[in-house]
């Protein structure tokens, strides 16, 4: 299951070559740091969490059996470390109320987003994503950005399949609602011009 | 059917736009900092590495020797070393210690609940250990 290169470096580290761990850190630091940042919304905390994640991974590398991808195993450590940090700081996002989504709603938001430059659009989406509650934000990130399968998300979060599906669906709806609220003035303008 | 269509549309929406978001970057010295921490941890481990004063082999030899002495002395001497001298405990009857807990009665339900609490406490230790170990499997 594990990538051959990863396995090679994991074996090297287990055999005492500490420097081989740099390859694994360099490969996955962006992934773990971004997940921690999306969940905690703090760069300092994300840096600390992701460093702890790699150190924990190093200490427990011999326990990694290779049944799953190394990235999924790392993701699991990072995800739980971020959850622990959130619990410790008792930080939680205010949630947007979610109603049923209509086709027109998706269409009008899409129309406005298409009219915005890619870079700016990505910034808007990023801001909207961080307004989601941390569990929903991480679901969206894992599924759509890092392209983890449902099975892998279940492995990372240790939630049931039904629970993951519900959370993912709720997260998609809430994200659309937040994006819609953010670009609402543009939508009004857009349809006013028509 | 309509709900499924909405799920598909929302799925396509998220797939299209979330992927456009840029990945965050940690600090420049991120990897070096982790390697430093690991090296420090490793050196501390080697500095404070504890070594048993008496090795397992020595303990085994000591235990075997002691056992041999006891068994041999038992076999060749008339009086066994395992025979303890008789002690007269009758003096205990002469000492009268007041029973402080005479009036204390503990009901069965209290005893059962204390027993169950202990049982659950021990079970939790095992359960928590498994839970934390599982995180790294």
pLDDT of A45-60, one tens digit each?
Answer: 999 999 999 999 999 9
Tokens of A85: 């940090």
Q: What is the mean pLDDT of residues B78-93?
A: 70
List, by residue range, all CATH 1.20.140.160 domains of chain A.
103-193
Give residue A166's pLDDT.
Answer: 92
User: Are B69 and B110 part of one and the same domain?
Assistant: no
Instruction: Quote the number of domains for chain B.
Output: 2
User: Are B54 and B110 part of one and the same domain?
Assistant: no
pLDDT in tens, A119-151: 888 888 999 998 888 889 999 999 999 999 999
Q: What is the pTM of this model?
A: 0.68
Residue at B85 is within a domain: no
> Which CATH number among 3.40.50.2300, 1.20.140.160, 3.40.190.80, 3.40.50.1110 corresponds to the domain A103-193?
1.20.140.160
Residues of A in contact with B10 (CB under 8 A): 101, 106, 169, 172-173, 176
Q: Note the ipTM here.
A: 0.78
Residues of B in contact with A77 (CB under 8 A): 135-136
Greatest Cα pair distance, chain A, in angstroms, is 67
Statement: A4-89 belongs to CATH 3.40.50.300: no
**Which residues span the domain enclosing B69?**
1-76
List, by residue range, all CATH 1.10.1740.10 domains of chain A.
4-89
Spatial neighbors of A67 by CB under 8 A, at least 6 apart, are A1
The DSSP call for residue A68 is S
Distance from C-alpha of A110 to C-alpha of A143, rounded to nearest angstrom: 20
Residue at B111 is within a domain: yes
Instruction: Show which of B55, B76, B97 is a domain's final residue.
Output: B76
Distance from C-alpha of A100 to C-alpha of A105, rounded to nearest angstrom: 10
User: Are B111 and B71 part of one and the same domain?
Assistant: no
Q: How far is CA A24 from CA A54, A61, A152, in A?
A: 9, 11, 19
Residue at B96 is within a domain: no
B65 near B73, Cβ under 8 Å? no
User: Are B72 and B112 part of one and the same domain?
Assistant: no
Give residue A72's pLDDT.
Answer: 92
CA distance A80 to chain B (A): 9
Tokens of B122: 């021990």
Chain B interface test: which of A27, A29, A182 (most B C-beta within 10 Å): A29
Tokens of A161: 């399949």
CA distance A141 to chain B (A): 8
Distance from C-alpha of B90 to C-alpha of B81, rounded to nearest angstrom: 25
Looking at the complex, does the CB of residue B25 fall below 8 Å from at least one CB of chain A? yes
Q: What is the mean pLDDT of residues B79-100?
A: 71
Among B20, B22, B38, select the one facing A55 at the smallest CB separation.
Answer: B38
């Amino acid at each position: 299951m594990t990538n051959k290169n990863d396995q090679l470096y994991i074996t090297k580290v287990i055999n005492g070559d500490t420097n081989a761990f740099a390859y694994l850190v360099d490969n996955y630091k962006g992934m773990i740091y971004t997940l921690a940042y999306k969940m905690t919304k703090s760069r300092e905390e994300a840096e600390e969490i992701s460093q702890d994640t790699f150190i924990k991974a190093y200490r427990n590398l011999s326990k990694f059996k290779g049944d799953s991808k190394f990235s999924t195993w790392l993701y699991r450590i990072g995800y739980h470390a971020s959850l622990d940090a959130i619990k410790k700081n008792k930080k939680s996002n205010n949630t947007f109320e979610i109603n049923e989504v209509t086709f027109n709603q998706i269409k009008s938001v899409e129309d406005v987003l298409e009219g915005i430059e890619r870079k700016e659009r990505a910034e808007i989406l990023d801001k909207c994503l961080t307004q989601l509650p941390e569990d929903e934000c991480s679901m969206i990130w894992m599924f759509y950005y890092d392209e983890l399968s449902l099975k892998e998300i279940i492995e990372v979060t240790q939630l049931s399949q039904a629970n993951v599906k519900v959370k993912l669906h709720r997260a998609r709806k809430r994200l659309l609602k937040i994006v819609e609220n953010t670009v609402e003035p543009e939508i009004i303008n857009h349809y006013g011009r028509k | 059917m309509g709900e499924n269509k909405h799920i598909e549309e929302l799925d396509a929406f998220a797939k299209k736009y979330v992927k456009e978001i840029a990945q965050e970057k940690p600090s420049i010295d991120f990897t070096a900092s982790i390697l430093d921490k690991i090296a420090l941890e490793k050196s501390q481990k080697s500095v404070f590495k504890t070594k048993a004063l008496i090795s397992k082999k020595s303990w085994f030899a000591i235990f075997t020797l002691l056992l041999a002495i006891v068994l041999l002395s038992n076999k060749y001497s008339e009086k066994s070393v395992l025979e303890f001298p008789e002690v007269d405990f009758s003096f205990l009857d002469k000492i009268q210690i007041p029973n402080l807990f005479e009036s204390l009665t503990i009901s069965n339900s209290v005893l059962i609940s204390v027993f169950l609490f202990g049982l659950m406490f021990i079970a939790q230790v095992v359960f928590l250990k498994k839970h934390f170990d599982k995180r790294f499997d």
